[in-house]
Amino acid sequence: MEIILKQDVINLGYKDDIVTVKNGYANNYLLPQGMAIIATPANKKMHAETLRQRAFKEEKLRKDAETLKAALDGKNVRLTTKVGENGQLFGAINNIQIADALKEQYNYDVDRKKIVVDGAKIKEIGNYTATVNVYRDIKAELNLEVVAE
């Protein structure tokens, strides 16, 4: 079944993509959740018109994303936290703390949901890398330095 996505769906596609999925997935999950609509000829025409109108906005978003990527790439973000005797952290460093540190140190406001840490969780002091999904296929790499208070 061909559908038009109304929002980004992980491992399927981005908003306004036309994708083919199995009937059960579309009928039982995507359509009832409001994540997609069926790609009928009338919906495809409306979709094409919407994309034409949105092309200008898309170019501006992509240009802003490229600027943010250039600014974020290779930045060193220093995170200070409480540490036990053997270098283990009390708790773990998460995306919220990384986003707050970016805002505090460089004044970049990045959505915490767009930050992915290599190795899932940070539980020890040391150096790590994180990826910021700035826009669709535009990603920036950050260097994280976790140190004791």
Looking at residue 36, its pLDDT comes to 95
* Same domain, yes or no: 91 and 44: no
Number of domains in the chain: 2
Residue-number span of the structural domain to which 123 is assigned: 69-148
Same domain, 39 and 75: no
The confidence score (pLDDT) of residue 34 equals 94
Report the SS3 class of residue 138: strand
pLDDT value at residue 92: 87
What per-residue string of b and e applies to 81-107 under the rule 16 or more CB within 10 Å gives b? bebeeeeebeeebebebbbebbeeeee
CA geometry: angle at 58 spanning 69 and 25, to 5°? Answer: 95
Are 22 and 40 found together in one domain? yes
Q: Are residues 57 and 95 in the same domain?
A: no
Give the per-residue pLDDT at 31: 95
* Domain termination residue (choose one: 62, 84, 103): 62
Query: Which residues of the chain have a pLDDT value below 70?
Result: 120
Do 78 and 56 reside in the same domain of the chain?
no
> What 3-state DSSP class applies to 125?
coil
Q: What is the pLDDT of residue 97?
A: 92
- Tell which of 38, 62, 86 closes a domain: 62
Residue 58 sits in the same domain as residue 74 = no
Q: In terms of domains, do 125 and 95 share one?
A: yes
Per-residue confidence (pLDDT) for residue 5, from 0 to 100: 95
pTM of full prediction above 0.85: no
Class of residue 121 by CB neighbours under 10 A (exposed 0-12, middle 13-18, buried 19+)? exposed
Distance, CA of 103 to CA of 79 (rounded, Å): 12
User: In this structure, what CATH number is given to the domain that contains residue 97?
Assistant: 3.10.430.100
Residues 56 and 76 occupy one common structural domain = no
Domain stop point among 62, 82, 98? 62
Check: CB of residue 3 under 8 Å from CB of residue 36.
Answer: yes
* pLDDT for position 102: 93
Q: Are residues 141 and 100 in the same domain?
A: yes
| Residues 49, 13 within the same domain | yes
